[in-house]
Amino acid sequence: MRLLVVGRLSGQLAVAVKMAMSQGAKVQHVEREEQATEALRRGQGADLLLVDCGLDIAGLIAANKAERIHVPVVACGVDVGPDEAAAAIRAGAKEFIPLPPEADLIAAVLAAVADDERPMVTKDPAMQGVLRLADQVARSEASILITGESGVGKEVMARYVHAKSRRADRPFISVNCAAIPENLLESELFGHEKGAFTGAVARRIGKFEEADGGTLLLDEISEMDARLQAKLLRALQERVIDRVGGAKPVKVDIRVIATSNRDLAQAVREGVFREDLLYRLNVVNLRLPSLRERPADVAVLAEHFAKKYAAANGVPERPFSAEASALLRTYAWPGNVRELENAIHRAVLLADGPEIGVEAVRMPDGRTLSPSLDQGAAARAVQAADAVTRNFVGQTVAQMEQALILDTLGHCFGNRTHAANILGISIRTLRNKLNEYAAQGVAIPAPQSGAATAA
């Protein structure tokens, strides 16, 4: 989480900054509005601006918008009345924080903006299988497409891969392609030169250059405009970008991870997503199962969130009652991990007594949660998960190696070169293994259209 504080760093604002840093935020500071825009222009990126209410918030937001810089603003101030706070919101601030600050409020605002401090918590075999593949490919340079329903933890997985990669000590930059207006996204990604458009008063460094040497996450890539898809494809192929209004290409060294909650193959068939870009992004696919498909994760995640929010809200840790645990296991969680987290946060606040009971586990509108899986279905789901683990028992090393090679090849759409790189073996070794399997009558994934092969 990168926080840019704008204002005189004294008194209560300094206290707020210390609280933010205690929550893991990486803080930069400037005193004036124009310095904030200049810092963002130069590529000193920020996920959030915390701005003193006494400054010209409307002018700062307008200056950023004129240069196609998209960073949310939170206003703050001491002894600020309701009218002034409302004026800051009307000026474009997303939220207002009164000073002196409350630690819980600072933590909530930062948590709403970034997910960079979320650990990977899992116990279910279905999810652990995905983690094994993530571990296997993390140190490669392959582009990765992470797919799954909304709320399953795609960005958490992307940060996990980055942390396990050879670029772990370099920047991790995330761009939500669905949250940024189409006319701003190009400058956000590629930057622009002075005079490229009205309001471009200086060169602006985009996210590709901010992420140089590290990882760039393109969140919800399916929402990207077709014209930008073509420009992104060139950046991935050539490892160069063109700033808007630029006269010469700029070299970049990044690893791209993309996420989508849509079926991109279907989007290709519908003509709204480029097939060649899909192949570039989808060298390896990590499909995250929904929470319904990983029932063993519900309990461990619920326990993790209960401890997290008990500490954040200064309330005692409480275990779940047997009835509450059963309710959590049998609810379908259509909003996946995100919905579970919000439900546990509410339950921690509403619980009264030595345990978190069913009466504390409520919907956002206050209704109590109702089971949406019968006990038999839940039991069958757990049995199916256990079966995944049992399938590995009794297999020889050669059988496991064959399964790993063929699974990796399938994830790479039959691309032998990519599969060999991920597996850490030569293309000759891979070809010999595949020839050996074919001689045994094993079906070998063939290269799909657009997937080159060196075999």
Q: What is the pLDDT of residues 161-170, one digit of tens each?
A: 999 999 999 9
Q: Are 292 and 381 in contact (CB under 8 A)?
A: yes
User: Does 282 lie in the same domain as 141?
Assistant: yes
User: Does 423 lie in the same domain as 404?
Assistant: yes
CATH of the domain at 316: 1.10.8.60
Q: Which of 110-114, 149-153, 310-314, 414-418 has the highest mean pLDDT?
A: 149-153
Burial class (CB in 10 A: 0-12, 13-18, 19+), 438: exposed
Q: Are 284 and 415 in contact (CB under 8 A)?
A: no
Cis peptide before 100 (omega within 30 of 0): yes
Residue 387 lies in a domain: no
Q: What is the pLDDT of residue 372?
A: 65
- Helix, strand and coil percent figures for the chain, each rounded to 5: 50, 15, 40
Residue 385 lies in a domain: no
User: Does 236 lie in the same domain as 268?
Assistant: yes
- Last residue of one domain, picked from the residues 91, 113, 135: 113
Least confident of 32-46, 140-154, 277-291: 32-46
User: Does 148 lie in the same domain as 268?
Assistant: yes
Q: What is the pLDDT of residue 152?
A: 95
- Last residue of one domain, picked from the residues 287, 314, 338: 287
Strand partners, 287: 147
Residue 47 lies in a domain: yes
- The count of structural domains within the chain is 4
Domain containing 274 equals 125-287
pLDDT tens readout for residues 214-249:
999 999 999 999 889 999 999 999 999 999 998 899
**Full-model pTM:** 0.68
User: Does 409 lie in the same domain as 445?
Assistant: yes
User: Does 307 lie in the same domain as 263?
Assistant: no
- Last residue of one domain, picked from the residues 342, 376, 410: 376
User: Does 271 lie in the same domain as 186?
Assistant: yes
Mean pLDDT of 359-366: 90
Phi, psi of 162 (to 5 degrees): -60, -45
User: Does 136 lie in the same domain as 235?
Assistant: yes
CATH of the domain at 269: 3.40.50.300
User: Does 190 lie in the same domain as 136?
Assistant: yes
Mapped onto helix, strand or coil, the DSSP state of residue 4 is strand
Residue 10 lies in a domain: yes
Q: What distance in Å separates the CA atoms of residue 37 and residue 311, rounded to the nearest whole number?
A: 36
Q: Is pLDDT larger for residue 282 or for residue 70?
A: 282
User: Does 364 lie in the same domain as 238?
Assistant: no
Provide the token pair at 111: 């948590």
* Nearest residue to 324 via CA among 364, 366, 356, 365: 356
Above 80 in pLDDT, residue 421? no
Helices 296-313, 103-113: crossing angle, 10 deg rounding = 140
